[in-house]
Amino acid sequence: MSADHDDLRRLLGGYLLGGLDDTDTDRLDAHLLHCDECRAELDRLAPVPELLRSLENAPPVAVAAGTRPSPARIESLLGRMRAERTRDRRRTLGRRLAAVAAAVLLVAGAVGFIVSRDQDETPVPPPIAAAPSQPLITAVFEPSDGSGLAGQAVLTGKTWGVSIDLQVSKLSGAGPFVCRVSNADGQVEQAAIWGPTPSGNAKVTGASSIQLRNVSAVAVADTEGHVLGTAHLN
């Protein structure tokens, strides 16, 4: 604290009791506008004149009529000091609230960034590999002597054997008709059986346990066992 501050602070009592001349009064007024410590001290000492007047047998305080600050002036000054302190507290509170709001926004932004980053970095499951296509062979029927059978057999390899899709026309003779699958070793399996159709055309799906690579021929025969046509693979 400066020496001037200490000197002015010692004048507070005389200021309240009206014992200062105009020069010191103006100096102290100007100082109080900027000194929180002296304003607080003046606020604390404000009741002193009233207490002195209330003391029994207290000698009257003799001061010049024009130098003692009026109660209205003291109250006005104290009111200004209280208002300034209120504004200071509000400004401080406002700064604190602004800092808290900024911190909240910062945290919210960080959380949003983390959530967003977590969502962006969610591992994408690898694509499911497509099942390998099954081997497929198309064989054309050759009609037997005296038969007009035409068409084809589409053979699809399976783990359990072979699937056979027949598309034939000009079926002759009495049904039912039979599809037989054979291999090079002479093994023969019945793959399908179906009845006659008015048009002589048929689409039939059958199956055999012989593996596709081992199938040598597919034949269609009538109910009496006469082969109407054969599709050769090997």
State yes or no: pLDDT of 67 exceeds 70: no
DSSP 80-118: HHHHHHHHHHHHHHHHHHHHHHHHHHHHHHHHHHHHHHH
Mean pLDDT of 148-156: 94
Coil, strand or helix: which one is 30? helix
List, in order of start, the domains of the chain with CATH numbers. Answer: 3-106 (no CATH), 136-232 (2.60.40)
Mark 50-69 as b/e (b = at least 16 C-beta within 10 Å): eeeeeeeeeeeeeeeeebbb
Lowest mean pLDDT among 26-30, 118-122, 159-163: 118-122
pTM of this structure: 0.45
Which tokens in the block code for residue 24? 């010191």
99: Cα separation from own chain's centroid: 28
Helix axes 71-120, 22-32, angle to 10 degrees: 10
**What pLDDT does 63 receive?**
47
Q: What is the pLDDT of residue 1?
A: 57
Mean pLDDT of the chain: 77
